């Protein structure tokens, strides 16, 4: 197991421990206040803890090595985890809405809101700090599990701030029905966050291109391109959890020997593996250059050049994803 994956698992253990502690605090606050708003926050915390445990399992599975039945590894289980988390978040949101609407017609008595507000405010601050830690680690290691967990905790922290403000108004102005209204608004927000997570996880399962990652990758290739690399085209990115698979065509001088072409492929793969934080696997198909390639070829010492260089073609994500060699006039 790689060091990065071990770090992700250790961090997920911390998420579980903190989630259980905050769950207890929120239910104590609900017991003291009888507030629907605080109950809705506590209910979401149950989802946080359950999904933190499921997330830990998914990280263990994603860290398993490749085998004959899983030649690309087990990383996509993280997308399944994210979709399940989104579903449970949505269920929690709908439950909050239903209970709050019911209490409009069957109101409950609120008490000790000042203590409840203070307890909830502390949990919101802890969630925000933990979300920042998760988000930084998730982005560095490209872990869908950590990123989705960070988004969940961050949204929880933001909504907790809204709950604290709303409950303060209930407490200061004694507007009891506002408690139910805030809880309903919170419920709809949770449902939206759940749908958003499901959408993101389905994108990963269906291998939707990560445009931001593709743009960063192309910028890396453009900044470090070697004169022997005449062009890169038909580039595709597939993510398997924290691992990346690159499939591309690399155009090289047609007179290169097999060994020379192999060395250039190694040079390209080394660039990808040393500059990207996560493990990167490349499947590179080598194409020979053609006569029209001379007009944009950067290789100054080419012994068989048939046309002078006319322009420098900047590699862009639109250009490298096309299944055709680069030319001066792109159709």
CATH of the domain at 186: 1.20.1510.10
Q: Are residues 233 and 278 in the same domain?
A: yes
Separation between Cα atoms, residue 105 and residue 272, nearest integer Å: 61
The pTM of the full predicted model, rounded to 2 decimals, is 0.59
Are 190 and 92 a contacting pair, CB within 8 Å? yes
Does 181 reside within a domain?
Answer: yes
Does 325 reside within a domain?
Answer: no
> Which residue range is the domain that position 222 belongs to?
211-320
Q: What is the pLDDT of residues 104-152, one digit of tens each?
A: 787 777 788 889 889 989 998 998 898 888 888 777 766 666 776 777 7
pLDDT for 228:
94
Q: Are residues 128 and 232 in the same domain?
A: no
Q: Are residues 180 and 225 in the same domain?
A: no
Q: Are residues 187 and 310 in the same domain?
A: no
Does 327 reside within a domain?
Answer: no
Q: What is the pLDDT of residues 176-203, one digit of tens each?
A: 777 778 778 877 887 887 888 788 777 7
Q: Return the axis-axis angle of helices 113-141 and 36-62, rounded to nearest 10°.
A: 20
Q: Are residues 195 and 241 in the same domain?
A: no
Last residue of some domain: 174, 205, 236? 205
Q: What's the number of domains the chain is made of?
A: 2
Separation between Cα atoms, residue 42 and residue 162, nearest integer Å: 15
Last residue of some domain: 162, 189, 205? 205
Q: Are residues 271 and 140 in the same domain?
A: no
Q: Are residues 25 and 116 in the same domain?
A: yes
For β-strands 231-240 and 280-288, DSSP reports them as: unpaired
Does 330 reside within a domain?
Answer: no
Does 216 reside within a domain?
Answer: yes
Q: Are residues 219 and 103 in the same domain?
A: no
pLDDT for 208:
62
3-state secondary structure the chain: CCHHHHHHHHHHHHHHHHHHHHHHHHHHHHHHHCCHHHHHHHHHHHHHHHHHHHHHHHHHHHCCCCCCCCCCCCCCHHHHHHHHHHHHHHHHHHHHHHHHHHHHHCCCCCCCHHHHHHHHHHHHHHHHHHHHHHHHHHHHHCCHHHHHHHHHHHHHHHHHHHHHHHHHHHHHHCCCHHHHHHHHHHHHHHHHHHHHHHHHHHHHHCCCCCHHHHHHHHHHHHHCCCCCCCEEEEEEEEEECCEEEEEEEEEECCCCCHHHHHHHHHHHHHHHHHHCCCCEEEEEEEEECCHHHHHHCCCCCCCCCCCCCCCCCCCCHHHHCCCCCCCCCCC
Q: Are residues 293 and 270 in the same domain?
A: yes
The residues, ordered by sequence, that sit 6+ positions from 37 with a Cβ below 8 Å of its Cβ are 163, 166, 167, 170, 179, 182, 183, 186
Nearest alpha-carbon partner for 145 in 18, 318, 15: 15
pLDDT of the chain along its 331 residues, tens only?
Answer: 556 667 777 887 888 898 899 999 999 998 888 887 788 778 778 877 877 887 787 777 767 777 777 666 666 676 777 787 778 778 877 877 887 787 778 777 778 888 988 998 999 899 889 888 888 877 776 666 677 677 777 777 877 777 788 788 778 877 777 777 877 887 788 788 788 878 877 776 666 667 777 888 888 889 899 999 999 999 988 776 567 788 999 999 999 999 999 999 999 998 887 766 556 788 899 999 998 889 889 888 899 998 888 888 899 988 898 988 888 764 4
Q: Are residues 264 and 171 in the same domain?
A: no
Q: Are residues 18 and 157 in the same domain?
A: yes
Last residue of some domain: 171, 205, 239? 205
Does 78 reside within a domain?
Answer: yes
CATH of the domain at 297: 3.30.70.1350
How many Å separate Cα 171 from the centre of its chain?
A: 39
Q: Are residues 28 and 161 in the same domain?
A: yes
Does 163 reside within a domain?
Answer: yes
Does 284 reside within a domain?
Answer: yes
């Amino acid at each position: 197991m790689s060091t990065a994956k071990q770090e992700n698992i250790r961090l997920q253990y911390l998420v579980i421990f903190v989630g259980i502690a905050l769950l207890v605090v929120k239910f104590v606050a609900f017991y003291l206040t009888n507030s629907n708003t605080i109950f809705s926050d506590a209910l979401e915390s149950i989802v946080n803890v359950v999904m933190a445990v499921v997330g830990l399992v998914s990280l263990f599975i994603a860290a398993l090595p490749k085998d004959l039945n899983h030649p690309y590894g087990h990383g996509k289980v993280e997308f399944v985890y994210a979709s399940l988390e989104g579903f449970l978040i949505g269920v929690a949101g709908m439950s909050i809405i239903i209970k709050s609407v019911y209490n409009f017609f069957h109101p409950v008595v609120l008490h000790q809101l000042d203590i409840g507000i203070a307890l909830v405010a502390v949990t919101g601050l802890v969630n925000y700090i933990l979300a920042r830690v998760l988000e930084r680690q998730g982005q560095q290691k490209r872990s869908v599990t950590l990123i989705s967990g960070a988004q969940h905790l961050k949204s929880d922290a933001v909504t907790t701030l809204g709950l604290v403000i709303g409950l303060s108004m209930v407490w200061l102005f004694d507007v009891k029905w506002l408690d139910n209204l805030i809880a309903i608004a919170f419920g709809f927000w949770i449902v939206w966050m759940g749908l958003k997570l499901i959408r993101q996880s389905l994108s990963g399962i269906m291998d939707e291109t990560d445009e931001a990652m593709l743009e960063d990758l192309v910028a890396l290739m453009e900044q470090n391109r070697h004169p022997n690399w005449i062009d890169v085209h038909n580039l595709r990115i597939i993510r398997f959890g924290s691992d990346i698979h690159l499939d591309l065509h690399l155009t090289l001088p047609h007179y290169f020997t097999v060994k020379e072409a192999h060395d250039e492929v190694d040079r390209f793969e080394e660039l990808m593996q040393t500059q990207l934080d996560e493990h990167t696997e490349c499947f590179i198909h080598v194409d020979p250059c053609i006569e029209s390639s001379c007009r944009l070829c950067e290789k100054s010492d080419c012994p068989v050049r048939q046309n002078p260089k006319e322009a420098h073609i900047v590699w862009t994500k639109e250009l490298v994803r096309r299944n055709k060699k680069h030319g001066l006039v792109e159709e």
